[in-house]
Structure 1
Amino acid sequence: MQGTVDGFSYGLVTPVVAYLMACLGGALGLRCTTRSMLAVHSWRAGWLALGSAAIGSGIWTMHFIAMMGFTVKETPIHYDKTITFASLALGVVMVGLGVFIVGYRGATGVALFTGGTITGLGIATMHYLGMAGMRLNGVLRYNTLTVAASVVIAVVAATAAFWVAGRVRGFLWSVGASLVLGIGVTGMHYTGMAALSVHLHGAGNPAGESPAALLAPMMIGPLVFLCLAGVVVLFDPLMVMGRSGRIPAERKPGVPAHPEAARAGRSPLPRAGRRGSRSPQSR
């Protein structure tokens, strides 16, 4: 028996809120990733870990806000808490691998491709593991091609977001990157849901708690964490000063930094070697 699936039982409310949550987590995570490129080595890992957890928590929260609007008319839906929280942990770990690769190797070439691919696969893995934690009087089946398309969307969006975040560190650019990531994550989710069909074991009792009542308590922890991460990002001194522009190339060992030369985009020269000075041979 085919179940009657409705992914928008609250209309546009759940898709819009889910998208905004994905953007929030992406914005915090990408700002932390960009901030790590300006940090001393000892602090870089901390910023990248915070960014990984922010992106992972934002994506996970986005998924289950969207799932609040998912219903199957003929049967109630429940969620296995162990698998549900395992999807959060796995998502954060896989996103973290991608973030650390980009954070330490830079958002170019092989590192960008590898980091974006692992992060995109982490987003997809979180989604489908979260779906595996859903319990109802039936079985979930997926269209293989549509599932593959959802994974590609997640990988492309993650790679594009890292590319933007790695090249520039201005606030507006970070917002743009987070919007791209939010579109990709939300698009991946609803593409994956379009691949889903529910085959019921038989007639059941549709009565039961609403998905919103079941899922809301589980999202309290990730939401509190995102708020705390937001406070850290907003009150970080370099963020407050609004430093923007392209990420500078890393200085070679043994070459002293020269702040004014870095701002001017050229290497420092002693005044004696500039215009108006003469070499000893020309005197």
Structure 2
Amino acid sequence: MNLHNGSIQITEFVIGGFEEVGRQMEIGLVILIVYVLLMLANTLNIVFVILDKKLHKPMYLLICNLAVVDMLYSTSSCPTMIGVLLAGVNTISYAACLIQMFSFQVAETMELFALAVMAFDRLIAISFPLRYHSILTNVRTIAITYFLWVAACGFVTLMPVLLIPMPYCFNRLRYSFCDFPAVARTSCLNPSYYFNLATIVWFFLLFFTFGFICISYVWIISVVLRSSKNESRKVLSTCFSHMLVVACYYVPLFVRIVFTRIGLVLTLEERQGLMIGAILGPSLLNPFVYCLTTKEIKNKLFGIFKKVKPIQ
């Protein structure tokens, strides 16, 4: 690091988020085990859909997209945390830090978009069951997904554009991996302006997607109220997995982003624990939820186990 006009030339950052944490080895092992499990489970979901032509339908394409998002979401943060906790590797280069931050924010944004478009899929399926396959084709589903990835990258590009020209006075990150607040706090400038700008973008994305999901379910509930009891049970069963995934993802997100902005005070350890749980929890839960609640995937999974005969 070289002095330059009162600031320093950053070549690498030191990750200091775990310095005050006890039992680092145990925490690292838990993160490693959960990370391996969620990668295997999400990969299994993707392989099931790719290999079975009967599953080449919009809903399963969206499940695949969610699995890819979850894998990127966890991979953009977990290997760094595992390296710090288990191997003692607590430095990351400047370029790698920005790439990690960008990947993490894209995945976090895509998680919002993926859940919103899955709510749209359920809305069409329940409101227009006879026209579902003509309204939401595989080609349209892929096109929508592609557009959302491009839009997510467009929104997130703002963050590295803000950070790259900043003068830096510190190279130690307070958090457990590279994300926007951690890097912005190392700047010589007052980070409040940048935090507020990022908050405006995040509030827009958060409330737009959550509002869309809520409106979708209000519409779905209105359809349920006009249906018979048997039809209502079918409707609710098709939506249960998505509602569970939405709750698991949005609750910690609202606590971390919204409630802390309106007066809720969290310690650094509480904030980090909430963030790590928000990354690992939904990413691990999602594939198991869809494996166990989606009839076609569940039947395929049980069929594989039935074919595996015990050794005599």
Q: Does TM, normalized by the shorter one, top 0.5? A: no
Rg larger in structure: 1
Could you tell me the TM-score, scaled by structure 1's length? 0.35
Could you tell me the TM-score, scaled by structure 2's length? 0.32
